[in-house]
Copies of this chain bind each other. A is one copy, B any other.
Amino acid sequence: MWESARVKVAVIGLGLIGGSLLKALAAAGHAVTGYDTDPVTRELAGAADSIAEAVEGAEIVALAVPLPGLPGVLGELARLGDEAGPAGHGALLTDVTSVKGPVRELAAEHGIRRFVGGHPMAGKETSGFAAADPELFDGCAWVLCLEPGETDLADWLTVAALCTAMGARVVPATAAEHDRAVAGISHVPHLAAAAIARRLVGNPLAATLGAGSFRDGTRVAATRAELTAAMCGGNAAAVREVLAAVIDDLQLRLAELGEPDPVGALVPALREAGDARRAWPARPGPATVAPAGVEELLALGRDGGWVTAVAEDLGTVATMRPESGRNSS
């Protein structure tokens, strides 16, 4: 019942994520082709020599290029679709970029009819095809975007079946919900880490005294500035919303520090933060089988739940929700 159908998938862009995807899909028994702009990577991956060749006959095309590269690839796929039919406009497209609202708009601008945006929450310190790993997605949360009245449910379930077959926990969410959530758990934390790291500028004494809380709290500040800027700038609307909330929160702490009893004033908010952090990551609750409906899936995602498998007839999904009030660590 939960066996995923074998399909032909083309992966465009063979860096860490695209390369891992190519290997994981091949390991799951799918027919895969790949393409990368870099000839050395193509050689290493045994990839096709052009996008046209890679997507020829593909039922699903997965775009694993960085956000700035997407318009070019979408343009070429649209052109191929106009010329030849099935590829481009015909194939089901998905992607792996870290913002989903802007990619949804890009796909619409290029007239892509069948599109399911995705974002696997996976990464490594290393990059490039040489670092690609077919196990990279095992256990990782993989958001697949589901827009009521827009996304075809069967398309969504088809991509979800591919992802769960690679061991991913598929999280249904709208693009807007995704972008707000990742602003909170990744993009704004990068900006906060940078603001803390900048306290060292012109202050060697502080640098000498820095220990564990500084080390961990600023780890991601060492990310290449262009990458962090692209990530935050590409999700500017949601990042602004969450950053404004964080600033408001810090303003309240600043006010509490000025009260006659700053220690007592600080405790309630710090306790709420501590409770939230200690409850993370949540321990998974029992597995359930649910009907595969758009609203049911979106409710599952909002509850912090995920899909672990898709029935072959696409009628039901196996799901898990976090157990409330307990954590797994």
Residues on A facing B (Cβ under 8 Å): 121, 123, 141, 143, 169, 171, 173, 177-178, 180-182, 184-186, 188-201, 203-214, 216-226, 228-230, 232-234, 236, 239-240, 242-247, 249-251, 253-254, 257-258, 261-274, 276-282, 301-306, 322
Residues from chain B with Cβ under 8 Å of A178 in the complex: 209
Residues from chain B with Cβ under 8 Å of A205 in the complex: 171, 173, 177, 181, 301-304
The 6 closest A-B pairs by CB, nearest first: A204-B304, A233-B263, A194-B273, A233-B262, A184-B199, A225-B270
* Inter-chain contact B208/A189, CB cutoff 8 Å: no
| 10 A-B pairs in the complex with CB atoms less than 8 angstroms apart | A181-B203, A184-B199, A193-B273, A200-B279, A204-B303, A204-B304, A208-B305, A216-B219, A226-B267, A233-B257
Contact residues of A: prevailing secondary structure: helix
Sample of 9 further A-B pairs with CB below 8 A, known A204-B304, A208-B322, A240-B254 = A181-B206, A195-B250, A198-B276, A199-B242, A207-B282, A228-B274, A229-B270, A243-B253, A244-B254
Q: Could you say which of B200, B207, B266 contacts A228, with CB atoms under 8 Å apart?
A: B266
* Inter-chain contact A201/B272, CB cutoff 8 Å: yes
Residues from chain B with Cβ under 8 Å of A171 in the complex: 205, 208-209
